[in-house]
Amino acid sequence: MSRIDTAYNYFMTTYGDNIGSRYESHKKSELRDTYNKIIKANKESPLYKIEDTSDLGQFAIDIKEHANAMSLSVSNLSSGGDDISTILNKRMAHSSQPDSVDVLYVGDNTEEAEEFTIEVDSLAKPQINIGNFLEPTGHDFQEGQYSFDLDIRSHSYEFQFNVNRGETNFMVQNKIVRLLNTSNVGLSARLITNSKGENAVEISSKSTGISENEDYLFKISSNIAWRELNTLGIDKVSQPPSNSNFKLNGVEHQSLSNTFTVNKIYELALLAPSKGNVRVGLMNDTEALSDGVSQLLNSYNGMIDVGLKYTGSHQNRALFNEISAIAKGMAGSLAVVGITADALGHLSLDSTTLSDAINNGSREQAFATLNQLKAAISTAATKASINPMAYMDKAVVEYKNPGKTLTAPYATSAYSGMMMNYGL
């Protein structure tokens, strides 16, 4: 279990902030299509063994998450249809400080959308309780059945847990984390470790901000297991919730959340305090196109970096060669639209050259090139996401009987569905 815990912790610390973003929703048909692709990839997959290296999980997670980023950038360019040229007919919002304020146009393309300014002073924050740091191999809990009460907004819950003979502090703390994460009550929990190697339970509310008639977002107490609760220390508030503070056109405002709409036209997501005023408005046609293409290239470059990062440790250039081949095969046509590659295969965009290509009479050929690049990146993203283990060093143990294949959707890869069991 320690290895999957390490992989899970790496995923949460590296990519956890992106979970639940507005770009991550999927239709049932899309999920069904992904499931069917996993089954199809598995049908003829041989049985293989993989070298059990310490960064195996990180490699697979990096591939999947960067493949996801590539897919999202493709979706952004395809939101108006399969042809990138449709982006010229779509209104796209722009923020002068995208690292501080992310903006999305949510109007109906007919409304007047005036430019405005926003200055972000502070973000809305969740409530965080951090328990006591305990020696993981210690035995500070006596055998028995215990419970604690949770009050969250207008709801109250009772959580019960058992401490069995011989269970260590780590086992008990991990039990509390699982109990809260599977309860679906609006909290997320995890174990954190200090410099001494001691563990503590960190509990965070999924909601942010606090209204005037509230003192807390959640409260943990117990009249029965007060000793055990005092040992865990999870009733202590380490960070009280707070609202976001910002100025719209110089007028002060507050919000319980970091995401809200302005005039039902712009959806803002506050990411960090701003450096002065942030201008929010609409891009012109070529700006929107350049921005979308730049996002596509950034996601492509991210996958190139993953390939380069693990080439040395695994002595396997399969991922890098496959991704870099996309640009190499299109080098001539990409240069015409302002896209060039450096020595490592990273792509960059010259917006002026792209604008000239769109407006000087070669518009149709320019969009044909961009659509070809988008399609190639989309195909590579799907392949990498479905089976990241295809790029791992492995030894084939046995090939399947080609006439009698069975469908076991996650057999191709422990990380296809992010499921893993080293005990098998």
Is 256 a domain residue? no
By C-alpha distance, which of 21, 23, 14, 22 is closest to 65? Answer: 14
User: Which has the higher per-residue pLDDT, 360 or 98?
Assistant: 98
Kindly report, residue by residue over 339-348, the tens digit of the pLDDT.
999 988 899 9
User: Which has the higher per-residue pLDDT, 143 or 79?
Assistant: 143
The helix (H) or strand (E) run that includes residue 179 is helix 169-181
Which of these three, 224, 239, 254, is where a domain ends?
A: 239
215 and 290 both lie in a single domain = no
222 and 136 both lie in a single domain = yes
**pLDDT for the residue 391:** 78
Lowest mean pLDDT among 227-241, 275-289, 401-415: 401-415
Is 307 a domain residue? yes
Is 122 a domain residue? no
233 and 298 both lie in a single domain = no
Lowest mean pLDDT among 22-26, 70-74, 148-152, 244-248: 22-26
Is 106 a domain residue? no
**pLDDT for the residue 422:** 39
Sign of CA dihedral 300, 303, 309, 313: negative
Kindly report, residue by residue over 350-380, the tens digit of the pLDDT.
988 888 888 776 788 888 999 899 999 988 8
Is 405 a domain residue? no
Kindly report, residue by residue over 269-321, the tens digit of the pLDDT.
999 999 999 999 887 667 778 888 898 999 999 989 888 887 765 556 788 88
What phi, psi does 220 have (nearest 5°)? -115, 130
| Domain span holding position 150 | 128-239
What is the C-alpha end-to-end distance of the chain, expressed in Å? 11
137 and 222 both lie in a single domain = yes
Which of these three, 173, 206, 239, is where a domain ends?
A: 239
For the chain, the C-alpha Rg in angstroms (whole number) is 25
CATH code, 185? 2.60.40
Kindly report, residue by residue over 29-51, the tens digit of the pLDDT.
777 877 777 777 777 676 666 66
Q: How far is CA 299 from the centre of its chain?
A: 13
149 and 203 both lie in a single domain = yes
Dist CA 68 CA 390 (whole Å): 16
Is 315 a domain residue? yes
Does residue 81 surpass a pLDDT of 80? no
Lowest mean pLDDT among 102-111, 194-203, 287-296: 102-111
Does residue 142 surpass a pLDDT of 50? yes
**pLDDT for the residue 13:** 54
* Total count of domains within the chain: 2
Is 121 a domain residue? no
What is the DSSP code (8-state) at residue 134?
Answer: B
Is 259 a domain residue? no
**pLDDT for the residue 188:** 92
